[in-house]
Chain A
Amino acid sequence: MRSWWKNVWPPLVAVIFFLLVWQLLTSLFHIEQWILPAPSDIARETAAASGGLWEHVWATLKLTVFGFAIGTAIGLIIALILHLIPFLKQALYPLLILSQNIPTIALAPLLMIWFGFGLLPKIIVITLVCFFPVAVAALGGLKQTDPVMMNYMRMIGAGKGQIFAKLELPHALPSIFSGIKIAATYSVMGAIIAEWLGADKGIGYYMMLQKSGYRTDRMFVAIMIIVVLSLLMFGLIALLEKWFVRWKPKQG
C-alpha cells in the first residue's frame, strides 16, 4: 500500500497543479466560458448531468463493450488461423498491415450508407479498430515461442495440437494481453466516432448536440467521461491479465 502511494502521488500532484493553473488562468484573463471553461465550471456541469448525460454514457458503454468483445474475438480468430496455416499468413499478413492505412474515420460514412444507422455499422467500426492490435500482438507472441522449450516438446513427441495448447498459447498470453489492452482503449474511441456519424444516443451524439449549442463546458464533460471510460476498459483488462499471467516473475 505504501509503495503504491509512492508511485501515485507524483502524477496526482501534477494533475492537481495543472488544474489549479488552468483555473487561475481562466479567471485571471477573463476567458469566455464558451471558449475555455474553468475546471470548476466543468465540475458543476458534470454534477448537474443535464440533457440525460448518464443515459448517453450508459449507451456508449454498452456499445463499447459489445464492439470490443466482438473485435477482440475476431482478432484472436484471425491470429489463430494465420498461425496454424503458414501459407495463409504469408498471403494475408501484408494485406492486414495494409488495411490499417485506411483511416477508420474515412470508412465510417461508407458503412453508414451500406448498413444504415443501426447497431451493425457501429459494431463494424469498433471491430475494425480493435481486431488489428489483437491480431498482430497474438501473431507476434505465437511466433516467438522459446526455441529450447519447442525443441523439448518435439523431442518428447508432442503433436502440433499439444504444442499449441501447452506451449505456444500460454507463452503468447502476455503479448496477447498487451494487444487486448490497446484494443480496449481504442474501442472507446471507435464507439465515439461511430456515434458522431449517426446515432440518436451515446456520448458521441451528446457531443454533436453540445457542439451546435456552443456548450464548450459540456464538451469537456464528454471528453472527461471518454477518458474515464478508456481508463476503465484498460484497467479491467489489466486486472484480467494479472490473474491470467500470475506466474510471471515480478520485475525489479
Chain B
Amino acid sequence: MNKENTPALEIVSVSKSFKEKRRTLPVLSDISLTVGQGEFVSIIGPSGSGKSTLLHVIGGLTRPDAGTVRMNGAEVTGQQGHISYMPQQPALFPWRTIEDNVLLAQEVHGPVSREAREEARHWLAKVGLAGFEKAHPHTLSGGMQQRAAFLRALLSPQELMCLDEPFSALDALTRSDMQRWLLDIWEENRRSVLFITHNIEEALLLSSRIYVFSSRPATVLHAIDVPFPRPRREEVTEAPEFLQLKRQLSEWMREEQRKMQAAHQGGSRQ
C-alpha cells in the first residue's frame, strides 16, 4: 500500500452508547472521518457532544459498540499507544523538570537517547522556553505550560497528534498568540493532526478540513474544506471568504446549541 495515500487516521461508522441507570445514552452515532497524512483536521461541536468520548475511542481507552478505527491502513480499534496526545489542561508532572516532561511520551515508548534529549533542548529553545529546561512546571505561565505540553506531543514517536481543546483554559490574548504559534510550528512540520475545539475562528485559521458535530448523540453534520492556501497568515481572518465561512459555521453551531437546550428542557419536564 502506498503510504502517501493511506490516511493517518480513518474512523469508519463508529457508534458508542453508555448505560446509565438502566437507560442507554447514545453518545456517538455512526461517526466517520478521515485525517490524511500531514493534514490538519478539526472537529467542532457544542460542548458535551461526545468529542472526548471519540478521543477515548481513538486512543483505545473505550471500545466502540460498532465501527472501526484504522491508522496508516492498519486496524487499531481498542488498542492503546498509537497516538500522541495533548490534553485540555497541560497535565505536566510537577516533579519533573520541563525537559523531562517534554521527554515523557518518548520515555513511555522506550529509553530516551542522548540525541532525543538534545533535540528536546533544541525545541525548547525554539518555542521560547530556553533557560527553563531545568525549571519545574509551576514556575511557568499557562501559555508556556501549554507550549511544553504541545512539545511533548510533537516529540512523541507516533505520527498522529490528537489535540483536545488545548487552548480552552487560556485567556483570550494568550489564546490568539498560541493559535498563531501553533500555525507556524505546524506549517513547518506538517504532522497529521486531529484538533478538537469549540472555537470557530481557531478551527478556520488552522485546519484544512473541519467536521461539524451535532449535539448528542454526535453525528457528523457537515464536512467542509477550508480553501485558504498555505502558509497562512493571520490576515486571512479578515478575508471576506473567511468571514462568510465563519458566519455559516456559527449558524450551524447556534442551531445545535438550541436543539440541545430544547432537548434538555424536554428531558427535565418528564
Tell me the A residues contacting B by CB distance below 8 Å.
146, 148-149, 151-158, 162, 166-167, 170-171, 173, 245, 247-249
- Report whether B94 and A247 are in contact in the complex, using a CB–CB cutoff of 8 Å: yes
**How far apart sit A146 and B89, CA to CA, in the bound complex (Å)?**
12
On chain A, the residues within 8 Å of B138 by CB distance are 249
A-contacting 9-mer, from B79-87, B117-125, B194-202: B79-87
What are 19 A-B pairs with beta-carbon distances under 8 A?
A148-B87, A151-B87, A152-B91, A155-B80, A155-B83, A156-B59, A156-B156, A157-B80, A157-B81, A157-B83, A157-B109, A162-B108, A166-B93, A166-B104, A166-B108, A173-B95, A247-B95, A247-B136, A249-B138
Is the contact region of chain A dominated by helix, strand, or loop, or is it mixed? helix
Q: A148-B91, A152-B85, A158-B108 are in contact. List 5 more A-B contacts (CB 8 A).
A: A152-B91, A157-B60, A166-B107, A170-B93, A245-B95
- Report whether A155 and B108 are in contact in the complex, using a CB–CB cutoff of 8 Å: no
**How far apart sit A234 and B88, CA to CA, in the bound complex (Å)?**
40
Asked if B43 is an interface residue, CB under 8 A from chain A, the answer is: no
- Report whether B91 and A149 are in contact in the complex, using a CB–CB cutoff of 8 Å: yes
Contact of A167 among B55, B80, B84, B93 (CB under 8 A): B93
On chain B, the residues within 8 Å of A247 by CB distance are 94-96, 136
The 8 closest A-B pairs by CB, nearest first: A157-B81, A157-B80, A155-B85, A247-B95, A155-B59, A152-B91, A249-B138, A170-B95
B55 closest partner in A (C-beta): A155
Asked if B204 is an interface residue, CB under 8 A from chain A, the answer is: no
- Report whether A155 and B61 are in contact in the complex, using a CB–CB cutoff of 8 Å: yes
Asked if B35 is an interface residue, CB under 8 A from chain A, the answer is: no
On chain B, the residues within 8 Å of A245 by CB distance are 95
